[in-house]
Structure 1
Amino acid sequence: MIGKLDDYLRFNETALSLRSQRQELLASNIANADTPNYKARDIDFSNALRSALATTAQGHIANAPVAADGKALPDGTPVLYRTVSQGAVDGNTVDMDTERTQFADNALRYEAGITMINHQIRNLLAAIQGGQ
């Protein structure tokens, strides 16, 4: 029974976890906008979600632990460097317009994920209570 509940909630749980980690990366980019030689980082969300969901079934091999060196998220998702649209003299690659847009988009999608999980939980409660 618990396994079926896990399966029912897994997609949104995994997506929210990745969105949270991406939000931290984007916030770090914004915080380091004036740091010389800082390279803006991000993840490929769709590939990361696909990879995370591919290793959730029993018998799948999970990602190997990755050192906390900033090259990957704790779940093994590779952290990529953002393509430079316009170089800066100090070597910083943070474009504040891009970062703010990505930050707001990710936050909105995170909230949508929360709404979806709330909807799933309400459906479960309605089923448990017999649709009263």
Structure 2
Amino acid sequence: MAERPTTNWRRLIAAEAAELAAGTLAPDCAYMVDLFPDELLSATDAVLDAFETELATVDAEDDAQVLAAVEHVVLALNAVNEAHDECAFETDEREQLCLYIDEALTEQGVEVAALTARHGLGRHELTDQWRDW
């Protein structure tokens, strides 16, 4: 399965913690734990768990099923963002989440470029219809 953005975010937290422990990073320069609190990571992983479960049952040739799965994951991520004062996902995080959705679909046999083209969208506009983050 495509690597989740949360996996990368946890790596960043761990790397920063190691730098703090080694004394190579000043505590006032550490921000990863604040940027990615446990509640945010857990909530995001729960959404991605549900998305992966749904993808396993989706017919890759059925646009309606595929788009419904995308809508579900995006709306759930909207809720996570709302629960974190509309600032859970900044530009880099948004890009990582959208890339993850694209890669997860591709791994399930969805031809994302063809899907979006059939619906008058560019490949990178797949989530735009529902995305608030």
Higher percent of residues as helix: 2
Between Structure 1 and Structure 2, whose CA radius of gyration is higher?
1
Structure 1 length-normalised TM = 0.27
Structure 2 length-normalised TM = 0.27
Q: Which has the higher contact order (CA 8 A, sep 6+)?
A: 1
